[in-house]
Structures are given as structure tokens and as C-alpha cells.
């Protein structure tokens, strides 16, 4: 029953297809809250209104890690749309305030929806319970511990985003999307057949009384399009340096 409740909450949306956008060098941003970037020639809607971007290690959000740490780049839509309506098309990493010009060129880690395989371990994007995740290994530049990840996230408003067929990577989890079972309509029929089940798992009556199509379409149209999101990270060389950073906020 808990599975049905969670799946019902996370299955409320749909996708689109747009031309490819190229990521470029971006201005300095804060590490607090999901950063934003306006697309040119569009209304003044920021990406933080549609997609949040966080970096996790062992399930906890982080702002500083030791080089070589396995991280999860997590992307979640504002509304609880089905994850298959969301796709990460491009990602790059770049240094902040590098002393060397040769080091400032952004390095792609995701290209056309698959790993670019240029910087350590980068796993193909996978759908998570609430969006998309990418497992990567942290690395640092020679002249600065400050790096920024920038990613282009596409939300397809009319149908699921076209799937990508990425090559397998050693050390990366295998996608388990084939294990997906009950659809929203199947859950709805089961709840309508047994009204007591809805009350037992805490589903409000209005969810069953109203047809969801209209609100889902509105959510997808509101979120649909390409969104550039950014997140900064501090990458240090050792556990001692990490402890120093946690205590002082400075990198030794």
C-alpha cells in the first residue's frame, strides 16, 4: 500500500522535444539553492521554477568532498511528473577562478544524453523515483578546488522524452526501469474498486473524484522546455582538508 501511495504521488505529468542547446561558461552563482538561468527570447521564467539540481554523497547533500568521491547529481522537477518526461541532455564541469587559461575550458561529462567519458567515472543518466540522477566521481583542478557543474535538463510536455541507448560503464549501476509495474490508471482502478484502500493509505477523496488529465497537461506545459541548472562544489585533496573546510569554510 505504501508503494501505491508513493507511485500515485510521483506519477503526475508528461514531455516535449526541442532543438539542442549548447552549454557555455556561466557567471558565478551561489551554492545555496538551485541556481537559475534564463533562456534568450523567452518569457522571464527561471530554471529554478522548473527543475532543482542538488549534489549528494551517501544520500546527503554536500558542498565539499574529497577528490575521487562518488557523487550523485540529482535533478527533480517542480511538479511530481513521471520521470520519463525528463531528460538530462548535456552536462559540463568547469573551474571557478582558475589561474590558468588552459584550465578554464569547460569539460563535457554528458553529451546528447549519454556519458562523455572525458573526466573520470561518469555514469549514464538514470531515471530516479522523482526525476533523473547521474553518478559521477569528483575531481579537482590543479589551480583551484572550486568547480561548477552546469547541466541542460529537458522536460518533454507532450509525450515521454525519447530514450537514449548509452553504452555500459564499469562501476555504474544497471538501469532498473524495466522493473516498473503499476500505471496511474491501474492504481486508480484498484482504488475505485476498494474505496477503503484509499482511506487506509491516506489518499484524499478529491484525487479519485477528479480526472487528472487537465492538471497534468497544465503541469507539463508549465515545465516543458530546456532548462540550464548549475551547482558549485568544493573538492579538496584529503580528509584533513575536508575537516578544515567544515570547521572554517576555507580551503587550506
Distance CA 7, CA 10 (A): 5
pTM summary value:
0.67
Model confidence at 36: pLDDT above 60: no
Helix (H, G, I), strand (E, B) or coil at 118: coil
Lowest-pLDDT choice from 11-15, 110-114, 148-152: 11-15
Whole-angstrom CA distances from 77 to 31, 156, 197, 205 are: 19, 12, 28, 25
pLDDT tier at 171, thresholds 50, 70, 90: confident
Q: 224 or 198: which carries more pLDDT confidence?
A: 224
Would you say residue 169 has pLDDT above 70? yes
Q: Angle at the Cα of 76 (from 49 to 31), degrees rounded to 5? A: 70
Which one, of 24, 20, 22, 13, lies nearest residue 51 by Cα?
A: 13
**179: pLDDT confidence band, cut at 50, 70 and 90?**
very low
The 10s digit of each residue's pLDDT in 77-111 is 988 888 999 999 999 999 998 988 888 899 999 99
Q: Which residue has the higher pLDDT, 196 or 201?
A: 196
CA dist., res. 250 & res. 237, Å (int): 13
| Per-residue pLDDT reduced to its tens digit, 37-77 | 443 343 334 455 789 999 999 999 999 999 999 999 999 99
Residues with Cβ < 8 Å from 32, sequence gap 6 or more? none
DSSP-derived letter for residue 63 is: S
- Given a contact cutoff of 8 angstroms between Cβ atoms, the answer to whether 161 and 119 are in contact is no
Query: Is the distance from CB of 154 to CB of 225 less than 8 angstroms?
Result: yes
- What are the boundaries of each domain within the chain? 2-164+184-246
CA–CA dist 236, 252 (Å, integer)? 9
Instruction: Give 76's strand partners.
Output: 52
CB of 4 within 8 A of CB of 207? Answer: no
Is the per-residue pLDDT at 6 higher than 60?
A: no
Amino acid at each position: 500500500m505504501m508503494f501505491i501511495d508513493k507511485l500515485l504521488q510521483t506519477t503526475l505529468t508528461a514531455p516535449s522535444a526541442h532543438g539542442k542547446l549548447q552549454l557555455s561558461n556561466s557567471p558565478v552563482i551561489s551554492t545555496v539553492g538551485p541556481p537559475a538561468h534564463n533562456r534568450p527570447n523567452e518569457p522571464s521564467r527561471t530554471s529554478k521554477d522548473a527543475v532543482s539540481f542538488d549534489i549528494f554523497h551517501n544520500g546527503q547533500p554536500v558542498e565539499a568532498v574529497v577528490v575521487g568521491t562518488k557523487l550523485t547529481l540529482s535533478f527533480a522537477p517542480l511538479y511530481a511528473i513521471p520521470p520519463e518526461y525528463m531528460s538530462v541532455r548535456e552536462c559540463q564541469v568547469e573551474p571557478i577562478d582558475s589561474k590558468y587559461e588552459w584550465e578554464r575550458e569547460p569539460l563535457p561529462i554528458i553529451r546528447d544524453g549519454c556519458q562523455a567519458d572525458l573526466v573520470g567515472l561518469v555514469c549514464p543518466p538514470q531515471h530516479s523515483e522523482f526525476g533523473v540522477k547521474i553518478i559521477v566521481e569528483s575531481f579537482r583542478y590543479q589551480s583551484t578546488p572550486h568547480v561548477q557543474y552546469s547541466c541542460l535538463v529537458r522536460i518533454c510536455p507532450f509525450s515521454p522524452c525519447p530514450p537514449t541507448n548509452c553504452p555500459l560503464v564499469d562501476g555504474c549501476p544497471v538501469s532498473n526501469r524495466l522493473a516498473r509495474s503499476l500505471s496511474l490508471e491501474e492504481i486508480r482502478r484498484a482504488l475505485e474498486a476498494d474505496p477503503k484502500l484509499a482511506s487506509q493509505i491516506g489518499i484524499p477523496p478529491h484525487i479519485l473524484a477528479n480526472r487528472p488529465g487537465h492538471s497534468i497537461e497544465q503541469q507539463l506545459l508549465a515545465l516543458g522546455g530546456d532548462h540550464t541548472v548549475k551547482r558549485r562544489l568544493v573538492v579538496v585533496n584529503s580528509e584533513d582538508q575536508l575537516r578544515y573546510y567544515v570547521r572554517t569554510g576555507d580551503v587550506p
